[in-house]
Chain A
């Protein structure tokens, strides 16, 4: 932004802003809120909904405050009669095209259009109802996302999200005029296109046009079935996001309350995905060291850089767009799927329960996990390893349905077994966290010493830069790892698939080379996942990240290999990392998919 200041008046109050500041931002500075719909802080400016129009004194046209920069001497009125009439009309027009049966809508109570309709006291029936007569499609083909065109206001936030943040462009604008709609490649169903199920479009949809497919009723049925033993796992980022659905400000850690609530809901066993996050580090860290040994000592041709495989949106992205790099993906299943496979084998054995009676539920900050659980590869227990995946938002809704006063709940610990975890697992929820957790463990395996960063905090891989790089020099190796002596381990971290795409192109073209790459499909990592509370923006994601790192620092154990339950499972069940049994239950393979 320029250093040059421009002076203008908004509602007769003078204000100075740097050149390039929009009217919307300038008004915010004076605490005037201008309503918006197509505008989203994470996205480029479209200026197409026109709800933010303001009057510029002397100008014939109203101006879209989100799109027009403030200029010297401008006089802006944000609430003149002319503006109010236009805004009201625009909201009424949107409602006339919108299936406004709010009580039936999943987004009822969290809908930006509904809020504006209330605020402006609109007459919903002023204009002719266009929605009723139209043949809108509701696309339920995807196991993750429901796309309901009858609730779409064509703000194109989803289109910009899919393009700008994710580089996928599964959603695009089709047709023109009255027929204009948001659609997919040749209008194929969502399940058949390049959509990664990341759900970022859901996070930015102002209405109920894009929502997750919910499995709440199925989970209630399972809980209420006396013959079923229902286990639930909670992903790292849920504990720092759930509070937002239940009355807390962003950044509140509600781990203990969440566990209590899950027990009150009637789950038979409340366990932690963090346990299998620690397990992932053991498997994936060993896999990385094995690949490095093959490359450096045995001079074998192995796929490097190795890439993380925890994020199912990222996996599907790679399968579609870089199928030539599938060998680079770690074969480790995601923590959710490791948990699922173990729940119906290890856990069932230990607890003496017939796995056919176990219903395995996971609470995820993610919509792609719903797709992942349905992948045919994810049945290594002999059953579908994870039966139902609920988002953070769905869990919030269940807690509300059960009438639980969440804020007043006491804390409870996770059940055992598979409830123990470390700080290394918690940080899986933030971009760079898997990398940091892997380095904490791998470095110590190789050198016998802690990773040389203050308080174990590997800050170079933290933060919100789209792509981050770090180099860790390995010195003082234990004898068996001497081949790594002096090696500078080069790592990279990307979050948001648009950044991943840039990184992959550079890797593919041989411009950049690394040993290990972490990619999370969603901006900020899982804490900004497509199943997390709405709204989202950078500020909210930063607060969630602070909470994640605070949770890590507050844990007595902060390195995956120190988790006593991890020792136990290798001793009693798996043998050692990358054992035959591990491969059977904890590892998977990937399938090339078409590009559109």
Chain B
């Protein structure tokens, strides 16, 4: 059974590549070739949304602008996700190499790492590494400098346009889209913003070739991915796994024998109940994840799980748009009222309709994705919510 689940050692391998050499190799290539190879590899963004990385770079390259930016999203705020911390701690130069290659491809001279406030413990070390890397880039002839910007603790700043606002010194609130970041990004300039892990894979693809990456995963979900496993599991931790496994495969490896549900993709992801383990693929053909996998066993109240998530969103909504700011509060107060018997069980149907409105009418991904846990938990664990 275990062989169904392929563990991979690409990301954290410290001897597999010399990151400066990887950049040097890239500098000898035509940017279009690099971008085409990334497109060919099928790499999709590892932050959770899964936009094809090569296309993003291509769009940014096509923009006629003297100033462009490369931004690394290290605002790893999704509950249950802690893989970017490990990547930045263990193999930071792989991330920097990915950023440098991106800068070379799109024509950017400046890069930013937006580091979540809670990761400030690594700021000094990381600054030092970035400084060394910057001077190495000068040596190899790439005019590109990276700076680190520290977040201030808001979950919403992981949303790319809110992140830009935050770097610009403004209140971290998502912008209207379009225009998208590749057209109007940081400081109004064309910008590629990728997740920490995504940059590592771009460097890796440049080093090992698209073929090696494509050998892993499925049609829609190429390659491997780093997972943060937490909850009721004897093996909590960080694992790089090939994409395309079912939740069943995953639970066999990581469950404690009593797993009743897996929350795939963190608080903003979907809850998969035991009866759907077998038919649910972890990946873009099934349920995508930025890495968070939370296991719950039968001792857990799914009402409490949902309440916890909703409290989180009620607090972490930026508050600017109505569906998210008020919707989150209503979903939370709503299930509490149902639990206390102040509203009938049928009120859950009204709340699901509200969640649907939030999914299509909220301004950014935060408000849009609250419906994911809400509907999947209410639908699959209705009794636990009501009684």
Is B362 positioned at the interface, with any CB of A under 8 Å from its CB?
yes
Is A128 positioned at the interface, with any CB of B under 8 Å from its CB?
yes
Count A/B pairs, Cβ under 8 Å. Answer: 115
Flag the segment in A59-67, A352-360, A412-420, A477-485 that touches B.
A59-67
Tell me if A177 and B360 are in contact (CB < 8 A).
Answer: no
B interface residues, tally (CB under 8 Å): 35
User: Which B residues lie within 8 Å of A85 (CB)?
Assistant: 353, 357
Smallest distance from the beta carbon of B173 to chain A beta carbons, Å?
A: 8
Known: A50-B361, A61-B368, A62-B361. A93 touches B337 (CB 8 A): no
Tell me if B326 and A93 are in contact (CB < 8 A).
Answer: yes
User: Which A residues lie within 8 Å of B209 (CB)?
Assistant: none
Flag the segment in B78-86, B127-135, B317-325 that touches A.
B317-325
Q: Which residue of B lies closest to A89 (CB)?
A: B357
User: Which A residues lie within 8 Å of B198 (CB)?
Assistant: none
Distance between Cα atoms of A179 and B320 in the complex (Å): 11
Tell me if A127 and B320 are in contact (CB < 8 A).
Answer: no
Tell me if A176 and B329 are in contact (CB < 8 A).
Answer: no
Is B334 positioned at the interface, with any CB of A under 8 Å from its CB?
yes
| Interchain CB contact (< 8 A) of B330 among A50, A60, A82, A96 | A96
Q: Which residue of B lies closest to A64 (CB)?
A: B176
User: Which B residues lie within 8 Å of A156 (CB)?
Assistant: 320
| Interchain CB contact (< 8 A) of A154 among B315, B316, B325, B350 | B325
User: Which A residues lie within 8 Å of B316 (CB)?
Assistant: 176-177
Is A137 positioned at the interface, with any CB of B under 8 Å from its CB?
no
Which residues 11-69 of A sit at the B interface, judged by CB distance below 8 A? 45-51, 53, 60-62, 64, 67-69
Smallest distance from the beta carbon of B274 to chain A beta carbons, Å?
A: 29
Is B99 positioned at the interface, with any CB of A under 8 Å from its CB?
no
Smallest distance from the beta carbon of B169 to chain A beta carbons, Å?
A: 14
Interface of B is mostly: helix
User: Which B residues lie within 8 Å of A68 (CB)?
Assistant: 176, 178
User: Which B residues lie within 8 Å of A101 (CB)?
Assistant: none
Smallest distance from the beta carbon of B26 to chain A beta carbons, Å?
A: 35
| Interchain CB contact (< 8 A) of B315 among A61, A67, A82, A178 | A178
Distance between Cα atoms of A90 and B319 in the complex (Å): 14
Tell me if B319 and A126 are in contact (CB < 8 A).
Answer: no
A interface residues, tally (CB under 8 Å): 38
Tell me if B361 and A94 are in contact (CB < 8 A).
Answer: no
| Per-residue interface assignment for chain A, residues 73 to 94, with 1 indicating a CB less than 8 Å from any chain B CB and 0 otherwise | 0000000001001100110011
Is A455 positioned at the interface, with any CB of B under 8 Å from its CB?
no
Q: Which residue of A lies closest to B156 (CB)?
A: A176
User: Which B residues lie within 8 Å of A82 (CB)?
Assistant: 360
Tell me if B315 and A177 are in contact (CB < 8 A).
Answer: yes
| Per-residue interface assignment for chain A, residues 532 to 551, with 1 indicating a CB less than 8 Å from any chain B CB and 0 otherwise | 00000000000000000000
| Interchain CB contact (< 8 A) of B317 among A69, A173, A176 | A176
Is B328 positioned at the interface, with any CB of A under 8 Å from its CB?
yes
Distance between Cα atoms of A167 and B317 in the complex (Å): 28
Which residues 426-465 of A sit at the B interface, judged by CB distance below 8 A? none
User: Which B residues lie at the A interface, using CB under 8 A?
Assistant: 154, 156, 171, 173, 176, 178, 313-323, 325-330, 333-334, 337, 350, 353-354, 357, 360-363, 368
8 contacts between A and B (CB under 8 A): A50-B363, A62-B360, A89-B361, A96-B330, A156-B320, A178-B319, A178-B328, A180-B325
